[in-house]
Structure 1
Amino acid sequence: VHDALCAVSRTMESNAVVPGGGAVETALSLHLEDFARTFDSYEQWAIAEFSEALLTIPKTLAINAALDAIDLLAALRVRHHASQNAGDPKKADYKWYGLDLSNGTVRNSVAAGVLEPMVSKLKSLKFATEAAITILRIDDLVRIAPEQEEGQ
């Protein structure tokens, strides 16, 4: 009950919701893949890796539901790709598609009522990104000195 009340509170706080089931992460991932291709430097690799990391959410959802993560993620990516490159208005709705863990398929998360408070999603993405940046900065700072051989 407490979790449900917190979800309602977050929704009221942000006054907006986004589709669940990995829909947001999949859409962001595909947009970032396209964005990465506009760079011809080291940044392309970093953006592409961040894009791939976003797919950890839908992949983990599928694995935790004991479903075939590869097939589901492929189906989800196909739908989102079709929505981003659609001239067909029917395919434009594919942007709302997320994982249906009950049936092992993808579906329109908005129509199914699988929604998340936008403020929670934004904070999660922001904190995860900041944590990764912090780890990378620490990794750059920490250098292990080579071991000295005896007599040197």
Structure 2
Amino acid sequence: MMEVEHPAAKVLVELAQLQDEEVGDGTTSVVIIAAQLLKAADELVSQKIHPTTVMSGYRLACKEALKYMQEKLSINIDELGRECVLAAAKTTMSSKLIGPESDFFAGMIIEAVEAMKYSDGQGGFKYAVEAVNILKSHGGSTLDSLLVRGYALNCTVASPGMPKRIVNPKICCLDFGLQKVKMHLGINIELENPEKIEAIRREEIDIMKRRVDRILKTGVNVILTTGGADNVYIRQVEEAGAALVRRCLKKDLKRIAKATGGKFIFVVRYRPFLYGIL
């Protein structure tokens, strides 16, 4: 990591790092543009213009620049042929990362974006680009990449005995693990009979068993959870003929719930409409 002391230099370093993380390219361009903006701002400050005024001017200029690009420079892709859109996609990928494979990725990206097309309710269309999920896999080349028409997770089912393929699934997305319920901190249990300790342990297990049973009774056959799952509940789901996937990313489950018309569940209630159908 580059070590600098000057405040302006630190800003440029952080800006380049952020550009690399978010976009993966264009670090040189963004530093050059930012440096010119800093240079112009320094000249304005030397003319006794208050820094707050300079920042307000930059914000206004940014707003007007975006407005101009939207109104004057943007082109509705519905008016263009596929070849023009393909050429535009190749141009955006002519970088040091995937430039040599731009022909391969351009068509794939267009297909992915078109799959996210939806009506805006005003006679136009929008594209939910942020809903496109990108998974990385070690061991292959970039040309091994493929487009999945669905939603791919970097996870596997919790048990080999669970079904790998389910037609017309009913999906449940949970934001909690299927694990033994433990008493909250601050709760004390006083027992006169030591034999009841085992009964309490069994009840801690049975609480989650009942919750899983409620979920399965709704007809759910795919359970996706952000947490882990104890073996006893994995067997329970497997015996019901359903599939369970553990430790999914929260953002993935939110997208899946939205796509299937379900809800991202935090608390178990017997409400069938909470579960998505694909």
TM-score (norm 2): 0.16
Q: Which has the higher contact order (CA 8 A, sep 6+)?
A: 1
Structure 1 or 2, whichever has the larger Rg, is: 2
Using the size of structure 1 for normalisation, the TM-score is 0.26
Higher helix share: 1
